A and B are shown apart, each in its own frame.
Chain A
């Protein structure tokens, strides 16, 4: 065993990359749930974003355009969910699950011609001056644009929800859609916008996987990342800052177990592979033991169907 072989600085850099897809998807889902909608289709939107982004990046040779296409793709797919649950008032849980299955199949179909193709590489952006700082520089300021964007979005979503009028309206819709409706807010319209935002963020998360982290298109390559994003929203008790913490914790455990193996730590590999999932379950159990949904901070109208009766 040689733990000194593990460089903590490099470990942090890679865990940021590993955590970015789930961070983006979880942030999107956070906004969706804050508006009172439970969309379990995150996995489907991620994988659709992964292939849309990959295909467009390969065709145009520009990863940035690919990322944008991924956001559009994810948002388009989420529109199906929005139409079914907000206009036709379908059950959100069932529709979300269907969206995941649909997204996995659709992405496999779209990806037929892109298996084994190499995507254009996404450039790393070194922030001037800051990137040259000792220790902190290489760890924090030499990433690609999506990593910066994900952290930027944590701040934006936190500030918007906490301080802006838009955030207040969104939360009002999520806490009590009847009261918000009585005040004259367009509940359905606001929720559809939130769902599309969630789709776009999940799509970008998926594209980060296919364009940067792997970088390749493979059927089913999200491999459950969407479900972890959903768990992280609960883990974070619907707070943006804690979503960041949760995503990095999860990314950290995944990367650490591979590093421990490489360092020859004498632990059973099966348990190491299991550990991220075990920790997620453990956190969920501990958090839910403290009380009901209210104690967790869940939006009161989460998952409830809204029908304007008057």
Chain B
């Protein structure tokens, strides 16, 4: 009895669902932050809810939030696989190795890892071309800054974050050659106090446009308080910065999640590598603030349209690397391989990328 109780408690504690019917497909989600972070995890959870809505009684979903990247993730993944989940979405870069390790032990469970690059027969990877969104944000930022200083709160020095910084800088510079980018690394995806302090430090040093690649809404709240311009990250953050937010990049995972769960249900699921952008709708924008001048909004919307129809690539030469060496010749566009492993700044950005 005692053992039963303990087992029951453990099952409940891990959010595992009791007694699924046989026809039901169980879908699990592992989140790096709380679902109420107002950013990254919030949008993944919206995707989860969309899956529930799309398939109704035929699926049951569960999630575990605040899962640290590392050994803990492996424990949570194993527990999910053991408790009968058919598809498991792991939604942060740092879950890459844990996902691959656990997937090797459970060949019948289908794993979907976000933003990584390691795949297996039962592990797909998916990501969004956030750098397309950053190009639009950089364009607005370049126009909006009066001090010509853009602040960028960065999380970890991984290719996805570095791509974002480069794309934002290239497009800000294009419309405003005097622009400078100040990058602060906080080494966390989610640490509101530190993100808030970083935002304050940047603003004090003359930054009047703030971009972030961290998950909390704290920088937006600080930008609102100090009366500067900022951009939402991953989700619409206007509730925290009704005046500050110019627009936000919205990660729309719902269509992809519905598609992959559907494939798992009808048996057509295979390991794929998906990297979708504005064209497919995975990268979207929240409503533009009316504080953006009409001509800037029009210019940005034209840029977004050109990325959507494929006529423009955000990384189009001539571009040099930070050390001045040539990267892309005039008219040449970056290939996905280089972008996926990007570990360098483009020319003009000061400072070093930490190891």
Chain A residues packing against B (C-beta within 8 Å): 5-7, 10-11, 14, 18, 115-116, 118, 121, 209, 213-216, 218-221, 223, 254-255, 258-259, 261-264, 266, 268-270, 273
Q: Answer yes or no: B55 CB below 8 A from chain A CBs.
A: no
Within 8 A of A (CB), among B149-200: 151, 182-185, 187, 190-194, 196-198, 200
Contact B205 A6 (CB under 8 A): yes
Interface size range of chain B in the complex: 35 or more
Q: With CB as the reference atom, state the residue of chain A lying closest to B351.
A: A264
Contact A258 B201 (CB under 8 A): yes
Contact A115 B239 (CB under 8 A): no
Q: A213-B196, A216-B192, A221-B193 are in contact. Are A266 and B206 (CB under 8 A)?
A: no
Contact B34 A219 (CB under 8 A): yes
Contacts of B182 in A (CB 8 A): 262-264
Please list 18 pairs of residues, one from A and one from B, whose beta carbons are closer than 8 Å in the complex, sorted by A's number. Answer: A11-B204, A18-B197, A115-B37, A116-B37, A216-B192, A216-B216, A216-B221, A221-B193, A223-B194, A254-B197, A255-B197, A258-B184, A261-B183, A262-B182, A268-B355, A269-B185, A269-B187, A270-B354
Contact B205 A216 (CB under 8 A): no
Q: Answer yes or no: B217 CB below 8 A from chain A CBs.
A: yes
Of the candidates B42, B184, B205, the one having the most CB atoms from chain A within 10 angstroms of its own CB is B205
Contacts of A214 in B (CB 8 A): 192-193, 196, 218, 221
Contact A218 B192 (CB under 8 A): yes
Contact for A221 among B192, B202, B207, B221, CB less than 8 A = B192
Contact A7 B204 (CB under 8 A): yes
Q: Answer yes or no: B274 CB below 8 A from chain A CBs.
A: no
Contact for A273 among B35, B38, B187, B193, CB less than 8 A = B187
Contact B201 A115 (CB under 8 A): no
A118 to B351, CA, bound (A): 35
A10 to B206, CA, bound (A): 12
Question: Tally of A-B residue pairs with Cβ under 8 A?
Answer: 95
Q: Answer yes or no: B271 CB below 8 A from chain A CBs.
A: no
Q: A118-B221, A273-B187 are in contact. Are A258 and B198 (CB under 8 A)?
A: yes
Q: Answer yes or no: B36 CB below 8 A from chain A CBs.
A: yes
Contact A262 B37 (CB under 8 A): no
Q: With CB as the reference atom, state the residue of chain B lying closest to A116.
A: B36
Q: A213-B193, A216-B216 are in contact. Are A266 and B352 (CB under 8 A)?
A: yes
Q: With CB as the reference atom, state the residue of chain B lying closest to A17.
A: B200
Q: A14-B204, A118-B240, A216-B216 are in contact. Are A223 and B191 (CB under 8 A)?
A: yes
Contact A5 B201 (CB under 8 A): no
Distance in Å from the Cβ of A245 to the closest Cβ of chain B?
20
Q: Answer yes or no: B101 CB below 8 A from chain A CBs.
A: no
Contacts of A223 in B (CB 8 A): 191, 193-194
A6 to B200, CA, bound (A): 12
Contact B191 A261 (CB under 8 A): no
Q: Answer yes or no: B350 CB below 8 A from chain A CBs.
A: yes
Q: A5-B206, A115-B36 are in contact. Are A262 and B184 (CB under 8 A)?
A: yes
Q: A216-B192, A264-B182, A264-B350 are in contact. Are A258 and B35 (CB under 8 A)?
A: no
Q: Answer yes or no: B66 CB below 8 A from chain A CBs.
A: yes
Distance in Å from the Cβ of A114 to the closest Cβ of chain B?
8
Q: A14-B197, A216-B221 are in contact. List 5 more A-B contacts (CB 8 A).
A: A209-B193, A214-B192, A215-B221, A262-B202, A270-B355
A268 to B185, CA, bound (A): 11
Q: A216-B218, A219-B34 are in contact. Are A269 and B192 (CB under 8 A)?
A: no
Contacts of A116 in B (CB 8 A): 36-38, 42, 217, 239
Q: With CB as the reference atom, state the residue of chain B lying closest to A222.
A: B193
Contacts of B35 in A (CB 8 A): 115
Contacts of B193 in A (CB 8 A): 209, 213-214, 221, 223
Within 8 A of A (CB), among B31-64: 34-38, 42
A216 to B35, CA, bound (A): 14
Contacts of A259 in B (CB 8 A): 201, 204-205
Contact B350 A218 (CB under 8 A): no
Distance in Å from the Cβ of A287 to the closest Cβ of chain B?
27
A18 to B66, CA, bound (A): 25
Distance in Å from the Cβ of A105 to the closest Cβ of chain B?
11
Of the candidates A218, A223, A255, A259, the one having the most CB atoms from chain B within 10 angstroms of its own CB is A218
Contacts of B194 in A (CB 8 A): 223, 258
Distance in Å from the Cβ of B90 to the closest Cβ of chain A?
20
Distance in Å from the Cβ of A138 to the closest Cβ of chain B?
12
Contacts of A262 in B (CB 8 A): 151, 182, 184, 198, 201-202, 205, 207
